[in-house]
Structure 1
């Protein structure tokens, strides 16, 4: 209890001095000035709501086959047309949004948790631990992300769960390096020495004082990584290594429609547009968050 009270006093005296301790009000004010970020945020909110509650209002199921209506163009009955099996593309895209968002958020969450823990520990303790960890991260970064994910899925087997693991693994180095770099600057501050001087242990310092002050660049990285994760997962499904038929994952739908580009281009067009919109939304929002959290911006 005594340590907690002393920490509170130290935090109050150093809060105005540390450039990373910014008010939420200032953050929202800067974010609202960025029109592109607002568009991205609204698109993310729209995609999330539609993916979560949209399936409850659909009259056509994702695997309702009707060969009498196959390859139908967009119409009043089938808003986005039908595929080669007569399935409603609109319904499948709505359902596929759930899969896409789950893959994006879960893979980045797993990679972020592991990467941040490794990066903070590496930057805080330094020495041989830092050297070994960073060399391992350099090895992972030497591989292009999509190729590393492709190799991992090839080993684990084609499945959407394995895609999540693959994307999470190749996301670890980025989070680790950002967390390490921020930790190296934070641990040199005087208030960290003061907290350590009153008896706080390493774990308490890392969780209560280091992590909150390195979270800003990690939030930006997480938002941008979700866009990369969606694109990677769709690419693996397009290659047949991700979600398997008859799953309505957008990349798998794109793969189904590539053989009908000339006769029924809408089969590949609409899943492709869904991927573009989702990736664009997270990139725009991530850029806006980065600008809003930048201490140099006014």
Structure 2
């Protein structure tokens, strides 16, 4: 049975950080309102009742940009990790379960991907394909599926010769039935931990690419793009760098704490027999 261990402080702290960040931004947005319209005549305005955090170099409301940038990072992080985990876990299962030539092909492909630093590979793919949400997500998937494949393959190799798996195979169960009904419940806690930490890594990579101008359209407010745009005003308007940097740091820290909490035993998710 899977249960939540309330004594797991790291897990609870991660939840508090993420929920607190969301509530803070949402609360301020409700008070002020949200607008991403350009107002060139209101460039670099100081904080006021109309603009709680002031405006950026294009006259956009900073709070609205922070809200939008945070949501973009979360959406890309969750989407990329879901796709990556599905592809990586599927390939890892095939490599571990069937072995042979299929295992060699998959693992040699993984070794080839690992020969390049993830962020550099994503940079090269974005530079080749061009900017855009789909290209960005696909580049992040290509550069990060290997970890999931290696994790699942290793676990499948440990489990596949266990007596209960041999018994199930004796009843002519298909590979899909064995994977879904008998292996996935055992591998899922490890896969979940990997995925949660992967969200933090993907958000950081996405922000780095946007900071370098190779992510989404520069006209869209993103946390990395906001940090890049604020560099030229670091001394006269430091909030332009501090605020998106703080949001990015809290997002990454929150998911990393969640992942660390998931690694702990007996919780926050642990199997108990009753």
TM-score, length-normalised on structure 1? Answer: 0.84
Cα distance, 1:281 vs. partner? 0.4
Cα distance, 1:158 vs. partner? 1.5
1:247 has 2:220 as partner: yes
Go from structure 1 to structure 2 and tell me whether the alpha carbon gap of 1:41 and 1:60 turns closer, same or farther (over 3 Å shift). closer
**Aligned equivalent of 1:12:** none
1:119 has 2:97 as partner: no
For residues 211-259 of structure 1, the C-alpha deviation after alignment (integer angstroms, 9 at most, x for no partner) is 2221111100000000000000000001111122321111111111111
Which of residues 129, 134, 138 is equivalent to 2:107? 134
- What is the alpha-carbon distance in structure 2 between the residues aligned to residue 165 and residue 105 of structure 1? 13
**Aligned equivalent of 1:100:** 73
**Aligned equivalent of 2:37:** 63
Q: Is the 8 A contact 1:236 1:242 kept in 2?
A: yes
Which of residues 161, 174, 191 is equivalent to 2:134? 161
Structure 1 residue ranges without an equivalent (≥5): 1-22
Report the count of equivalent residues. Answer: 268
Go from structure 1 to structure 2 and tell me whether the alpha carbon gap of 1:200 and 1:40 turns closer, same or farther (over 3 Å shift). same
Go from structure 1 to structure 2 and tell me whether the alpha carbon gap of 1:33 and 1:243 turns closer, same or farther (over 3 Å shift). same
Go from structure 1 to structure 2 and tell me whether the alpha carbon gap of 1:60 and 1:209 turns closer, same or farther (over 3 Å shift). closer
Taking the TM superposition and a 5 Å limit, the aligned residue runs for 1:96-245 are 96-245=69-218
- What is the alpha-carbon distance in structure 1 between the residues aligned to residue 261 and residue 35 of structure 2? 37
**Aligned equivalent of 1:74:** 47
For residues 6-49 of structure 1, the C-alpha deviation after alignment (integer angstroms, 9 at most, x for no partner) is xxxxxxxxxxxxxxxxx212xx12xx212122111122234456
- What is the alpha-carbon distance in structure 2 between the residues aligned to residue 102 and residue 180 of structure 1? 28
Structure with the greater alpha carbon radius of gyration:
1
Q: Is the 8 A contact 2:227 2:245 kept in 1?
A: yes
TM-score, length-normalised on structure 2? Answer: 0.91
Structure having greater relative contact order (Cα 8 Å, sep ≥ 6): 2
Q: Is the 8 A contact 1:223 1:283 kept in 2?
A: yes
